[in-house]
Chain A
Amino acid sequence: MRVNRPSVGKRRQGAPRKIGTAVAALLVLCVAVSACGSSGISGGETAESSTAKATGKASGSLTISNWPYYISPKTIPGFEKATGIKTTYLEDYNSNEEFYGKLQPLLANGESGGRSLFAGPSPYIVERMIRQGYAQKLEKNAIKTVVENASPDITNPAYDPGNKYSYPWMSGLMGIAVRTDLAPDIKSACDLFNPKYKGKVELFTEMRQTLGVIMKCMGVDFSKPITEEDWMAAVNKVKQAKEDGQLRKFAGNDWTNELLRGDVVASTGAAGDTYQLEQENPNVKWVMPEQGCIIFTNAMTIPVGAPNATAAYAFMNYVYEPKHAAQIVEYTHYLSPVAGVQQVIAKTDPELAENELVFPSKKSIAKCSPEPQLSGEMEQKVTAAWNAVING
């Protein structure tokens, strides 16, 4: 193709000079354009966060982002009926990084993509949002129901001391989801690496949860600070499994498809999700790993630029009413941060109120640990290694 080699082929009089002029003109234009701004491309400096102002009675419309199937189908209609707020509930979380990646350029410009509330971020994202000034401070006066009903176990978390910016949406147990008809002998996360199930295993893309479960089975002591070596050993275990063809896929929410079809016999998975899958196929069961599970949390936070924060506050109050929280628990089987939910459910569904996976006793989750956190250089290093495995 002569396109790239103007000097080869038939030479036409004057053509190179003309092209040269044109290219030069173009370059000038390009430089002019690139000089006029370099906004949006980076998060910029740590910013002072604003407070989400509540104004009068909640009304208008509200848009919320969350993970799929993390709410009762009755919640939104109920909320709309009670408040008259037109609500768009988007299930557009597929992974923390992906969602944050999509929204970050907007947040950097002080916009939230029309959303008034994020209900899906993991603690480390909440921390990051606070640091970047992307999360707004909550007006405690506007969320009296939340403050009143929040279970003492979950308040004042390390990622947001004093709950200045966030309150938990729900928590869950991350363990293993197994097709008991196809792989009855999987009892621990390390069994996922059994060559017997080559090409039939999936791992969740959330680094902290997946590596957490794997580090547990590798015998890492979660009561002490986790070292870089521990993290890297787990990353390398996953890397090796990938290279050996042990893994079918690194999955976000789509892990369910393969499990239901039987393309995959076991995957890291959350207890609530797995309970819901069990309704589709009774052979899918959640297994508490022998060495314990990881307890994860997703938090509600109001992003910078959120329209109608008042409506977001109204929604937070609504879902922190024990009877509404109970509704969500009944459908999703996740762990509620609201005190008094168990008592509400005990009246209507005593069996569910006794379910150790929904209302775990101290004993049943004795071996479980909260989602392990990383920071600083170690976070960068482990994240880079993990990304190279799942994105490479």
Chain B
Amino acid sequence: MIRRRLTGYALVLPGAAWLVVLFLIPMYLMWRLSLNSGAVESGFHFNWEWANYKEAFTLYQEQFFRSFYYAGIATVVALVIAYPLAYGIIFYGGRYKTILLLLVLAPFLTTYLIRTLAWETILSDQSPAVHLLSAVGLAPGGHVLGTAGAVIAGITYNFLPFMVLPLFASLETIDKRYLEAARDLYASPRSAFWRVTVPLSTPGIVAGALLTFIPAVGDYINANFLGGPNNRMIGNVVQGLYLTERNYPMAAALSFILMVVITVAVAIYIRVAGSRALMGDDLSELG
């Protein structure tokens, strides 16, 4: 028994050490850095400078709320697009199921940046797509690029697989006999769908929403290429502060706030969504 336990430690240790040194300690150091004062030329020093947090939040709360807003809409839109897609493939895909899923995931095997740049081309002002959107009144001002709509559309597209995969996985495991039973009990197809299929796929919906929302909040590629100066997200700000302005304490503070807010939001969400089987044994294990 002791030997088994030692084997357990031996197996877990290298990976855990890697994560402690390169994730936990960096997080801790970033938090410390966020309480530094000073400037890059004169040097930084640690002195519990909590004012950084206040200043960061006052200066950039707009980008902060915008990020959550954009990510929230994108998550909902992604769910609306992905659910019927996954449903259709699972229940109507027949022997083409695997091929269809592969087709759905294939676009995400190209480089993220290049995909986004392709959207920039598709949505540029003189393109047929934008003329079409203008004609039906979906492009006020005659352009799509440089608007919130473009950024949200980009995020939705780029994080769609994170929505499709969990939905696909949970729809696939639904026992078809439940649906047959519903029909035998004279449930209409519609009510069978809403009262059997959807509830049974809740874990997929919850997981998909999380996996889409979290990266979406921190994303800045879409805002960078598809948005304008009024669509910048918190990721753009953190990046600029770290890499260009080198205001490390302020940047660290923002990054840390983002981490905390997301963790709390996720915690509340999981509570409310109340899904036992959400992510396998991962979270229930954490008791």
Chain A interface (Cβ < 8 Å from any Cβ of B): 1-5, 9-12, 15, 26-27, 29-30, 33-34, 38, 41-45, 95, 97-98, 101-102, 104, 128, 131-132, 198-200, 242-243, 245, 247-250, 261-263, 387-388, 390-392
Q: How far is the CB of B161 from chain A (nearest CB, A)?
A: 23
> In the complex, which of the residues A2, A29, A262, A390 contacts B283, with contact meaning CB atoms closer than 8 Å?
A2
Q: Are B143 and A199 in contact (CB under 8 A)?
A: yes
**C-alpha gap A10/B33 in the complex (Å):** 36
Contacts of A248 in B (CB 8 A): 145-146, 228-229
Contact with A along B222-257 (1 / 0, CB 8 A): 000000111010001100110111101000000000
Q: Are B29 and A34 in contact (CB under 8 A)?
A: yes
Contacts of B248 in A (CB 8 A): 41
**C-alpha gap A191/B283 in the complex (Å):** 58
Contacts of A97 in B (CB 8 A): 244-245
Q: A1-B283, A12-B287, A41-B44 are in contact. List 17 more A-B contacts (CB 8 A).
A: A1-B266, A4-B263, A5-B267, A27-B28, A42-B42, A43-B43, A101-B246, A243-B230, A245-B230, A247-B229, A263-B126, A387-B240, A391-B232, A391-B241, A392-B59, A392-B62, A392-B237
Q: Are B267 and A3 in contact (CB under 8 A)?
A: yes
Contacts of A42 in B (CB 8 A): 38-44
Interface residues contributed by chain B, number (CB under 8 Å): 47
Across the two chains, which residue of chain A brings its CB closest to B227?
Answer: A249
Q: Are B125 and A262 in contact (CB under 8 A)?
A: yes
**Could you say which of B244, B267, B286 has the most chain A C-beta atoms within 10 Å of its C-beta?**
B244
Q: How far is the CB of A134 from chain B (nearest CB, A)?
A: 11
Q: Are B229 and A390 in contact (CB under 8 A)?
A: yes
Chain B interface (Cβ < 8 Å from any Cβ of A): 20, 24-25, 28-29, 32-33, 38-44, 59-60, 62-63, 124-126, 141, 143, 145-146, 228-230, 232, 236-237, 240-241, 243-246, 248, 263-264, 266-267, 270-271, 283, 286-287
Mind listing 27 A-B residue pairs with CB under 8 Å? Answer: A1-B266, A1-B271, A3-B267, A4-B267, A26-B20, A41-B33, A42-B40, A42-B42, A44-B43, A97-B245, A102-B243, A128-B41, A199-B141, A199-B228, A245-B141, A248-B145, A248-B228, A248-B229, A249-B228, A263-B126, A387-B245, A390-B229, A391-B236, A391-B237, A391-B245, A392-B60, A392-B232
**Could you say which of B28, B229, B230, B283 has the most chain A C-beta atoms within 10 Å of its C-beta?**
B229
Contacts of B270 in A (CB 8 A): 1
Q: What total count of A-B pairs have CB within 8 Å?
A: 120
Q: Are A2 and B287 in contact (CB under 8 A)?
A: yes
Q: Are B228 and A104 in contact (CB under 8 A)?
A: no
With A5-B267, A30-B25 in contact, is A104–B62 under 8 Å at CB?
no
**C-alpha gap A26/B27 in the complex (Å):** 12
Q: How far is the CB of B117 from chain A (nearest CB, A)?
A: 10
Q: Are A10 and B41 in contact (CB under 8 A)?
A: no
Q: Are A391 and B40 in contact (CB under 8 A)?
A: no
**C-alpha gap A104/B271 in the complex (Å):** 45
Majority secondary structure, B binding face: helix
Q: How far is the CB of B204 from chain A (nearest CB, A)?
A: 18
Contacts of A250 in B (CB 8 A): 229
**C-alpha gap A242/B231 in the complex (Å):** 11
**C-alpha gap A41/B45 in the complex (Å):** 10
With A2-B287, A42-B43 in contact, is A29–B228 under 8 Å at CB?
no
Q: How far is the CB of B46 from chain A (nearest CB, A)?
A: 8
Q: Are A26 and B24 in contact (CB under 8 A)?
A: yes
Contacts of B283 in A (CB 8 A): 1-3
Across the two chains, which residue of chain A brings its CB closest to B238?
Answer: A391
Query: Closest 9 interchain pairs by CB?
Result: A42-B43, A391-B240, A1-B267, A30-B28, A1-B270, A263-B125, A101-B244, A43-B41, A97-B244
**C-alpha gap A249/B143 in the complex (Å):** 13
**C-alpha gap A263/B230 in the complex (Å):** 17
Q: Are A98 and B244 in contact (CB under 8 A)?
A: yes
